[in-house]
Structure 1
């Protein structure tokens, strides 16, 4: 670790930029959810509503729902990976500045591990894992 040459202001600058990019991604994911829901409901069905039952989902709506279900973990992983990397870089830098290269190395190493992403379960608390 004696070869470290960290610029704390550089780390802060880069992690701030990543934070702003993460905010933009979060807005895009929210928009994606709204737009895919709208597309699914606008795609129509082969038949109308049945007595006592809401409008049935057509094949396009079902395909969109399946796509969202199968890619939700990947989308959540992007944010979790970025957040873990930024937090790890900031934590390692703080230890570096404090002169504790051992804790800095541990923080860096911990940040490299893939984050655990829990997918929401329908009608229940967070439960699935990626």
Structure 2
């Protein structure tokens, strides 16, 4: 890189906005999983009546409540579970890319302010490659 022209206050403002949106995304994903879990339970089973639960057997300590029966999950629960399993790696990589972008921008900006353009470039490269291990060692600046 031959020339840099970074406005640290602008970067800080954008990182705050990004952090807010990342928090909103986390809340939305948590709500998605909660709602899908509720839908899976409410979706019922493909078996009639009392066969829709599995009795839990085993010894219970004196004074403890009896073991609760587990509801048998049906095809809706299975489909929702498979849906989330198929998207798990995508959601995880999305979260890692967001984290790398935020950490890389913060670290590169701090290195730029400190006058270390080589370290700033390394932070940028680590963020581009989603190398969280390199960014988390000294997030936001000099270790």
Q: TM-score scaled by structure 1?
A: 0.83
Structure 1: runs of 5+ lacking an equivalent? 117-130
Name the counterpart of 2:114.
Answer: 98
What SS class does the counterpart of residue 83 from structure 1 fall into? helix
1:48-95 Cα deviation digits (max 9, x unpaired)? 224446222111110000111111121122222111101100000000
What CA distance in whole angstroms lies between the structure 2 residues aligned with 1:115 and 1:89? Answer: 13
| Aligned: 1:42 with 2:42 | yes
Name the counterpart of 1:127.
Answer: none
Structure 2: runs of 5+ lacking an equivalent? 57-68, 133-143
Contact 1:8/1:93 (8 A) holds in 2: yes
Structure 1 position 115, deviation (Å)? 5.2
Which consecutive aligned stretches of 4+ in structure 1 deviate over 3 angstroms post-superposition?
50-53
